[in-house]
Amino acid sequence: MDRFIILAARRSGITLLIQSLDSHPQVQCHKYVFSTRRRLRYFQVDTPGSLFYEFRTASAERQMDYVFRRKRLIDVFLTGLYAPADGPKAVGLRLAYGQADKYPEILEWAMENDVGVIHLVRENCLKTVVSDFTAQKRGVYHSSSSVERVTVRLSPRKLKRRLTWLTKEIEKYRTMLKDRRYCEVSYESFVANRDAEARRILEFLHVNQCVPLTAGLMKLNPDSLEDILENYEQVARAFKGTAFERYLTM
């Protein structure tokens, strides 16, 4: 059985990729393992009901291990999660950047145990950030049917701050993982060339592409940022001449 992790920023298409891989009869993706929610700016807290939360709170001994021997606790948890089983030839879990930052022991364990990492990167980081704000405003993060269109007005300063953090996170994990079992996937390429990218990912997982990969998700936002950002012109002026200007025309 091949083991893998799908690593990505939130709102980068990770649910689309997971649903697509999960549609393959020989692939299984665990979705809510290290689920967290954001507190303050980037501080992450565990979500009750997630697999790791339920595991670590199941006994007083594990709660003590979580405080004093967290690496050992995560090692035991992941070893059990990835225990060989009949059925799937590849088993993985989703891991958002915030979760990987909160629990660096996860990727340490992955590198120590030859677990493959599929790094999903949305090339237009601005659309990642804007998608997060529109999902919050709409109250819907994923849907299999049409949803109402929403627009947002965002501070250019706030956008720059979030984009700076996001681009640093992408490069940090590229550098950390480049010499390991690593496969980088562009969200834009996956959407535009689903079959070719699916073949490449399944080859990385040593799984035959016996069926087309499918996902029942609808695109929630229009492609044009001008149709989403109420203050697009203000943002365009603030981004002019910066490294972020290119995101406006991608």
* Least confident segment among 3-7, 92-96, 214-218: 214-218
pLDDT the model gives residue 42: 54
d(CA 249, CA 73): 46
Q: For residue 45, is pLDDT > 90?
A: no
Total number of domains constituting the chain: 1
φ and ψ of 109, to 5 deg: -65, -40
**pLDDT score of 210 more than 90:** no
- Cα separation, 146 vs 241, whole angstroms: 37
How does strand 90-96 pair with strand 2-8? parallel
DSSP 8-state symbol, 36: E
* Tens digit of each residue's pLDDT (9 = 90 or more) over 107-163: 999 999 999 999 999 999 999 999 999 988 888 778 777 778 889 999 999 999 999
Q: Is the confidence at residue 91, as pLDDT, over 80?
A: yes
Among residues 209, 233, 217, 249, which one has the least CA distance to residue 15? 217
- C-alpha to C-alpha distances, 133 to 128, 143, 151, 173, 221, nearest whole angstrom: 9, 16, 9, 24, 11
What per-residue confidence (pLDDT) applies to 212?
A: 84
**How sure is the predictor about 99, in pLDDT bands with cuts at 50, 70 and 90?**
very high
Q: Domain range spanning residue 110?
A: 2-248
Q: What's this model's pTM, rounded to 2 decimal places?
A: 0.92
Angle at 130 (CA atoms; ends 128, 132), nearest 5 degrees: 75
CATH number of the domain bearing residue 184:
3.40.50
On the question of pLDDT at 38 being above 70, the answer is no
Note the pLDDT of residue 217.
80
What's the average model confidence in pLDDT over 160-178?
95
Model confidence at 206, pLDDT cuts 50, 70, 90, reads very high
pLDDT of residue 242: 95
